[in-house]
Structure 1
């Protein structure tokens, strides 16, 4: 089971007894399900945002090290990379929670929900890959292993751009579902 469904199921399982009773009332169940989907969406996007900020901070630490050691040939590229991190992190952080039109529907088709879960799973995997690459870049830089710096920066830039494309595709898919 992927992480998006796990989060949704966790939120659902933590409902208090009174919430479970109310969930059985006609009409209330759909409302509660919608609320749970929104909460799961919020948790996932908060996680993505926090991990991207961590990765950005690793890149900023690498920038500082490169700057102190006069590796000017890559500083401009690292600075642009930090700006890309900031843009996508803020885009994820400030997207409206739950994309109201999608989550307001009392009945969401299972295949539409599955598509969103696939997007969210892809986003989680991409952010994991980005954080690992940023950590490796920082580690090599702090160890003064600069020979692969340009290559690491290019890889990180490509990963961040792929993440942004996936996030934008997710938003477009949501607009199509509504």
Structure 2
């Protein structure tokens, strides 16, 4: 009977080049691979929702869905910006504080959830499901903020 893949193994299958923060010098690279994967999905979703807005506006410029779509695309862009500008895991952080094995396991779990949620937002945009996109986006935002704390010692993570 085949065993279930670990979060690290799942991430390695999903994201080419991902090594699981194993090598100190590659912590930054793995962090950037996860970020790029999420950003690509979110940019695709934003593009899909923007096209949807254009189609709706052409038919009825006063459609109430336009406000919801505008809010959603704005929050997607805001999250993309936050992901792009957040301090990269490992660049100075790893040099100052060692990331322990149990933290790595938590980071793998967060990364797997984050890439899954980014894919859900993208899928919801393809299906034109605003409720599903909003729900996944909100969970993604929360997990992204929680994950950042794992790269710091507990006394500094607040």
TM-score by length of 2: 0.80
CA shift at 1:102, angstroms? 4.1
Rg (Cα) greater in structure: 1
What is the aligned length?
A: 144
Residue matched to 2:63: 72
In structure 2, the CA distance between the partners of 1:164 and 1:3, relative to structure 1 (3 Å rule), is same
- The two structures have a TM-score, normalised by structure 1, of 0.72
Q: CA RMSD in A?
A: 2.5
**Relative to structure 1, is the Cα distance of residues 106 and 91 closer, same or farther in structure 2, using a 3 angstrom cutoff?**
closer
- When residues 10 and 164 of structure 1 are mapped into structure 2, their CA distance, relative to the original with a 3 A threshold, is closer
Q: Unaligned regions of 5+ residues in structure 2, if any? A: 1-8
Q: 1:120 to 1:69 in 2, by over 3 A?
A: same
Give the alignment of 1:32-111 within 5 angstroms: 33-70=23-60, 72-100=63-91, 102-104=93-95, 107-111=98-102
Q: CA deviation at 1:96?
A: 1.8
* Distance verdict in 2 for CA 1:164–1:10, change over 3 Å: closer
Give 3-state SS (helix, strand or coil) of 1:72's partner: coil
Unaligned runs of 5+ in 1: 13-32, 138-151
Structure with higher helix content: 1
Q: Is 1:3 equivalent to 2:11 in the alignment?
A: yes
